[in-house]
Amino acid sequence: MKESNHRDRAETNPRGMPMRLARIAVFTLAVAMAAVAGEPQMTVTVTELPPEPIPAGSCTESNSGYLGIVGTDKKERTNLTDQEIGEYVRKRLAEGYSVTLYPQASGKMFTVATCHPTKP
């Protein structure tokens, strides 16, 4: 006569599988409820502020193109450092432009500077 233990019979018993799934579901639900109950309740508030006015600048027209620096050898260098790009943006903002930068896969930077010469 072949010996079998209780575990083998439970795995082959078609009624045992739903019970195992129910136990797993109850355990998962209990763990999730304990995790949520242990967190402190936080209140998030959002306040809408009016937009800041664009300062009047000295610009006269909008422009766009690749950002580059012409060196003493009269050649344009378009692969700029982060500091050089930041200096360009700082100067353009002070002149009244809003600046949009589009990094290119080649390492170049395409820029669109929109002029805002007077306050809206």
In tens, the pLDDT along 35-89 reads: 666 666 678 888 888 887 766 678 889 999 999 989 889 899 888 899 999 999 9
**Number of domain units in the chain:** 1
Whole-number pLDDT of residue 20: 82
Query: Which residues have CB under 8 Å from 43's CB, separation 6+?
Result: none
**Residue 1 pLDDT > 70, yes or no?**
no
Residue 109 included in any domain: yes
**Residue 101 pLDDT > 80, yes or no?**
yes
CA angle 68, 77, 86 (to 5 degrees): 45
Residue 90 included in any domain: yes
Residue 55 included in any domain: no
CA–CA separation, 116 vs 52, rounded Å? 14
Residue 22 included in any domain: no
User: Which tokens in the block code for residue 71?
Assistant: 């060196």
Residue 47 included in any domain: no
Residue 51 included in any domain: no
Whole-number pLDDT of residue 103: 92
Whole-number pLDDT of residue 89: 94
Whole-number pLDDT of residue 102: 95
Residue 95 included in any domain: yes
Residue 83 included in any domain: yes
Instruction: Write out the residue range of the structural domain in which residue 110 sits.
Output: 63-115
Write down the pTM of the prediction: 0.51
